[in-house]
Amino acid sequence: MRTSALLALEDGTVYHGESIGAIGQSVGEVVFNTSMTGYQEILTDPSYCRQIVTLTYPHIGNTGVNDEDEESDNVYASGLIIRELSPVVSSWRSEQALDAYLVKHNIVGLAGIDTRSLTRLIREKGAMKGCIVAGDNIDVEAAIAAAKGFQGLKGLDLAKEVSTKASYVWDEACWHIDGQSQAAEAKYHVVAYDYGAKKNILRMLVERGCKLTVVPAQTPVEEVLALNPDGVFLSNGPGDPEPCDYAISAIQTLLEKDIPTFGICLGHQLLGLACGAKTVKMKFGHHGANHPVQELLAGLVMITSQNHGFAVDEETLPDTLTATHRSLFDGTLQGIHHVSKPAFSFQGHPEASPGPQDAAPLFDHFIDLLEQATGK
C-alpha cells in the first residue's frame, strides 16, 4: 500500500490519490503536458520551476530514469501528477525507477487520480494554483489554503533564480544512438545567457560548430561584449519575462551592436520585449510534444515541442519585427525575426528533448547569421 496523497486546487477542487514521491507538500501552478514520452527531460527542464506538471499520457515510468537524460542538474518541477505508475521498469538504459528518483530529489508525486478530468478542468478554467501533499492524515482545508496562497507566476522573475551562478564553457555535442557525441570543429564563439537553459540546446549549438561560454542571467552586457562573441544565444527559462529588465536592456544593446542573436522560449519573449512588443499570460499555455506550428513564409507545418505559459502578443509587434511562425492550435505567435538586425527567436523548443525535431533547422539559421556576420 502506498502512502496517500492529494492535489488541492485554488477553486477548492480536490483529487485524492497515492504518493509516488517524497512525503511532504508543494505548491505551484498546475499545468498539463501532452507528451507521451520524456518525463525525465520534463522534470529536469528548469522552465518548469514553480509548476506542478500533470502528464496526460496515462502510463508513466516504464523506461525508468538515467543520468544521460537530465536536461539540467536538478529536478525543477514542483511536483508530478500521473494517472498510473508503471509497476515494471524495463529499458537497457534505465538506472533507477521514477518513484525512487522523485524521492531522491525530494519531489512530491501523485498517482491514481483522474488526470483526464483534471486536464479538462485546466482547459476550461486555465492553469490553476495548486498544492500537492503526500503523507498520512492530510488536512484538506489547509492544502486548499496553501494552493490559494501561492503567489502565481505573473510578475515573477525566476530566470535569475535558476541561472548558473558562474560562467562556464560548454563543449559537449548531441548524444547519438551509439552513446557517442561528436562536436563539429568550433568555428564560432557564442555566449549563451542562461535563464534556465536546457542542455540539449547547448548540445545542438556545439554540434553545429559553436564553442559556448554560458553566463549567468544578470551578467552585464559589457562583460558579454568583452568576451568578443560572434553571436549571443538567449535561453529558455521559467517565470514571467516582463520583470527581467536586466535581460531586456542587455538585448537592446546586442541589437544596437548588430550581434547575431537567437532566442528560444523565454529568450524569444525577451527579444520581443526588447524590441517593444508586449507579453501576455496565456490561459493554460502550451506544454507537449505534438504542437503544430506553421512557418509563415513557406507555409510549412512542423510538429513541435512546447512549454510556455506566456506569449508575445502579435498585436503589439513593432515595425522592426516580423512574425515568422504561428501556432495552429490557437493562432498565437511562435516566432519573430528582426527586419534589419541579425536577430530572431522561436517560442517552441527546436531542441525537442522530448519531442519531434522538425524545428531543428532554426539552429542552422543561427549558424547562417553567424557566417554572414563573421565571414567565417
Ligand X SMILES: NC(=O)CC[C@H](N)C(=O)O
Question: Could you list the active site residues?
Answer: 265, 349, 351
Q: What is the DSSP string of 253-309?
A: HHHHTT--EEEETHHHHHHHHHTT--EEEEEEEEEEEEEEEEETTT--EEEEEEEEE
Is 202 near ligand X (CB under 6 A)? Answer: no
Residue nearest to ligand X (CB): 265
Is 307 near ligand X (CB under 6 A)? Answer: yes
3-state SS assignment for residue 238: coil
- Rg over CA atoms, the chain: 20
Residues in 32-71 at the binding interface with ligand X, rule: CB under 6 A:
47
Task: Find the shortest distance in angstroms from Cβ 94 to ligand X.
Answer: 27
**Which CB, 25 or 353, lies closer to ligand X?**
353
**Which CB, 230 or 242, lies closer to ligand X?**
242
Q: 137: annotated binding-site residue?
A: no
State the DSSP code for 36: S
Is 287 near ligand X (CB under 6 A)? Answer: no
DSSP H or E run through 141:
helix 140-149
**Which CB, 211 or 349, lies closer to ligand X?**
349
What does the block give as the cell for 256? Answer: 544596437
Task: Find the shortest distance in angstroms from Cβ 6 to ligand X.
Answer: 26
Instruction: Please give the distance of CA 75 from its chain centroid, rounded to a whole number.
Output: 12
Contact 41, 353 (CB under 8 A): yes
> Between vectors from CA 84 to CA 78 and to CA 89, what angle results, nearest 5°?
95
Is 209 near ligand X (CB under 6 A)? Answer: no
Nearest Cα residue to 58 out of 31, 85, 32: 85
Which residue's entry shows cell 517560442? 347
Is 309 near ligand X (CB under 6 A)? Answer: yes
Q: Which range touches ligand X (CB under 6 A), out of 82-90, 164-172, 180-188, 307-315?
A: 307-315
Instruction: Please give the distance of CA 275 from its chain centroid, rounded to a whole number.
Output: 22
Contact 238, 48 (CB under 8 A): yes
| Cα–Cα dist 341/141, whole Å | 54
**Which CB, 33 or 294, lies closer to ligand X?**
33
Alpha-carbon torsion, ordered 162, 165, 166, 168, to 10 deg:
-20
Instruction: Name 182's Cβ contacts closer than 8 Å, sequence gap at least 6.
Output: 173, 176, 207
Q: Which range touches ligand X (CB under 6 A), out of 24-32, 63-71, 223-231, 303-311?
A: 303-311
3-state secondary structure 76-118: CECEEECCEECCCCCCCCCCECHHHHHHHCCCCEEECCCHHHH
Is 164 near ligand X (CB under 6 A)? Answer: no
| Cα–Cα dist 306/32, whole Å | 12
From residue 141 to residue 160, the character string flagging contacts with ligand X as x (rule: CB under 6 A) and all else as - is: --------------------
Q: Contact with ligand X (CB under 6 A): which of 262, 310, 344, 346?
A: 310
Q: Which range touches ligand X (CB under 6 A), out of 103-111, 233-241, 288-296, 363-371?
A: 233-241
**Which CB, 159 or 224, lies closer to ligand X?**
159
Q: 231: annotated binding-site residue?
A: no
Q: 269: annotated binding-site residue?
A: yes
Residues in 213-232 at the binding interface with ligand X, rule: CB under 6 A:
none
Is 332 near ligand X (CB under 6 A)? Answer: no
Q: Contact with ligand X (CB under 6 A): which of 21, 229, 239, 354?
A: 239
Nearest Cα residue to 259 out of 317, 191, 174, 196: 191
Q: Which range touches ligand X (CB under 6 A), out of 77-85, 292-300, 305-313, 368-376?
A: 305-313
Total binding residues for ligand X by CB under 6 A? 11
Q: Contact with ligand X (CB under 6 A): which of 236, 304, 345, 353?
A: 236
Q: Contact with ligand X (CB under 6 A): which of 238, 260, 263, 355?
A: 238
Annotated binding site for L-glutamine: 47, 237, 239, 266, 269, 307, 309-310
Annotated binding-site positions: 47, 237, 239, 266, 269, 307, 309-310
- Binding site residues, ligand X, CB under 6 A: 47, 236-239, 265-266, 307-310
